[in-house]
Amino acid sequence: MIRRDRQGKAKGSVDGWMKLDNAAKIYPPVTRGELTGVFRITSILNAPVRFNALQQAVDMTFKLFPSFSVELCPGIFWYYLEYNGQKPRLLLDEGPQCQAFPSKRKGEVMYRILARHNRISVEFLHIITDGGGAMMFFKMLLNNYGNIVSGTDETKVLFPGSLILNPVNDTRDRFREHSKKRFPHPVKLAGAWHLPFRLNNKPRFKTMSFSLPAGRLAEESKKCNTTVSEFLVSVYLASLQDLRDKQKKGSPFLRVQVPVDLRRRFNTETVRNFSVFVMPELDLRMGHYSFNEIIQEVKVAIGLMADDKRLTKIISRNVSKENNPLIRVIPLFVKGFFLRMAYNRLGISQYSGVLTNMGRIDLTPEGEEILNGMFVVPPPPHPRIKVSCGVSTLGNNTIITFGSVADDNALERTFITYLTGRNIPVRLLNLK
């Protein structure tokens, strides 16, 4: 909601200020050090990036997304976002991925554009959007870049569909709109098993990307009577089970956190955060699961958890916490301490890993001329989680990216072994 003064003029430096949405509220108190809350989407082009054209595209595109031109400000009880009208920085992509945004720099927005060789990347702090909102921006940026590079009067649309041509600049918190009072909350889960690996030396966060044919992955998923996401989550859980079997101790619960984009579910267009997590699990107290049994567990779990009523349960629980009268009146500096404690003790304890699938990103013939692939890097994982996974598909190219702070890549090796064991060719990408 945009706040205005008594004369009706919007408060703030340009157009006013707005509250953080429900999903964003946890990030200011918990993002610190290498836990940055920053995620990345990267496009691989068929030609070297033209920096001047890209800067022109940035100048054109950021104006269409004014809700991103904000800076984070501390209030008495909550953080809030204040409009500053600034555009994102265009930087040479030469440092570590998903670095933190400077918290003290006045006028700094919470996303950036990076370029290197034949790659263009965007990095967003989860405070202002999720993967769905970031992808709307990125598609528009690439469309504008393609038009500038082509040097013709004819508009080149790289991605089919009208949504990217009419980006929605929404200031409302969609979570609050879809929450329900006195709605039953999901049951509290027992703690999950975590990878036992030691941490890397600083800087800890490293990534590893693999390319595989999307058609072959879809074929294998269909053979198992699953979606691609369900198949990959099953591979993730199977990999965790293999590693847990070797350790033979710790929690018997294995869970993978899987984000669900709520825009299509609730027929809502917004560039702000609007996704929640579901967590299919294995309960090893019931013994070892075959891969076919894991697939059935995942299909049933995601089918149930992704039901609209159960998604509303999750939304309503999350919103009810910020509506708690006691939480609302606690000063910000005290509230931050308790939010960090709850996040570390309750949030992180419930899952073993993360898999984010951006799905299939379709191209027009014009898009196929300049784009060769796209991949997503989730935010650096918590030291207890250690490894996260991002997936995206462009054309017939699926790229799986692991982000890790661990000194052991056994999870990545096990995951890839499951794929190659089912005759899915996998190629390690050199993205230096």
75-100 mean pLDDT: 93
**The pLDDT value given to residue 7:** 35
Q: Residue 1 pLDDT more than 80?
A: no
Q: 5: pLDDT confidence band, cut at 50, 70 and 90? A: very low
390-417 mean pLDDT: 97
100-108 mean pLDDT: 82
Q: Residue 10 pLDDT more than 50?
A: no
Across the beta sheet with 70-74, what order do the strands follow? 17-19, 79-83, 70-74
Residue % of the chain over a pLDDT of 90: 73
7-16 mean pLDDT: 45
- Tell which wins on pLDDT, 163 or 202: 202
Give the integer Cα–Cα distance in Å for 251 and 30: 25
Cis peptide before 203 (omega within 30 of 0): yes
199-227 mean pLDDT: 96
Q: Residue 13 pLDDT more than 50?
A: no
**The pLDDT value given to residue 9:** 38
Q: Tell me: the pLDDT tens digits for 343-384?
A: 887 789 999 999 999 999 999 999 999 999 999 999 999 999
Q: 167: pLDDT confidence band, cut at 50, 70 and 90? A: low
Q: Residue 329 pLDDT more than 80?
A: no
Residues forming beta bridges with residue 145, ordered by sequence position: none
Give the integer Cα–Cα distance in Å for 340 and 344: 6
3-state secondary structure the chain: CCCECCCCCECCCCCCEEECCCCCCCHHHHCECCECCEEEEEEEECCCCCHHHHHHHHHHHHHHCHHHCEEEEECCCCEEEEECCCCCEEEECCCCCCCCCCCCCCCCCCEEEEEECCEEEEEEECCCCCHHHHHHHHHHHHHHHHHHHHCCCCCCCCCCCCHHHCCCCCCCCHHHHHCCCCCCCCCCCCCCCCCCCCECCCCCCEEEEEEEEHHHHHHHHHHCCCCHHHHHHHHHHHHHHHHHHHHCCCCCEEEEEEEEECCCCCCCCCCCCCEEEECCEEEHHHCCCCHHHHHHHHHHHHHHHCCHHHHHHHHHHHHHHHHCHHHHHCCHHHHHHHHHHHHHHHHHHHCCEEEEEEEEECCCHHHHHHEEEEEEECCCCCCCCCEEEEEEEECCEEEEEEEECECCCHHHHHHHHHHHHCCCCCEECCCC
Q: 3: pLDDT confidence band, cut at 50, 70 and 90? A: very low
**The pLDDT value given to residue 153:** 67
- Tell which wins on pLDDT, 48 or 317: 48
**The pLDDT value given to residue 67:** 93
Q: Residue 73 pLDDT more than 80?
A: yes
Q: Tell me: the pLDDT tens digits for 40-52?
A: 999 999 999 999 9
Q: Residue 302 pLDDT more than 60?
A: yes
Q: Residue 305 pLDDT more than 90?
A: no
**The pLDDT value given to residue 386:** 97
Q: Tell me: the pLDDT tens digits for 122-143?
A: 999 999 999 999 999 999 999 9
Q: 169: pLDDT confidence band, cut at 50, 70 and 90? A: low
244-257 mean pLDDT: 95
Residue whose tokens read 């967003």: 124
Q: Tell me: the pLDDT tens digits for 174-206?
A: 999 999 988 888 888 999 999 999 999 999 999
Q: Residue 173 pLDDT more than 50?
A: yes
Q: Residue 421 pLDDT more than 80?
A: yes
**The pLDDT value given to residue 164:** 65
**The pLDDT value given to residue 186:** 84
- Tell which wins on pLDDT, 17 or 167: 17
**The pLDDT value given to residue 324:** 79
Q: 146: pLDDT confidence band, cut at 50, 70 and 90? A: very high
Q: Residue 15 pLDDT more than 60?
A: no
Q: 6: pLDDT confidence band, cut at 50, 70 and 90? A: very low
Computed over every residue of the chain, the mean pLDDT equals: 90
Domains, the chain, in order of start with CATH, read 17-176 (3.30.559.10), 180-363+378-428 (3.30.559.30)
**The pLDDT value given to residue 150:** 87
Q: 166: pLDDT confidence band, cut at 50, 70 and 90? A: low
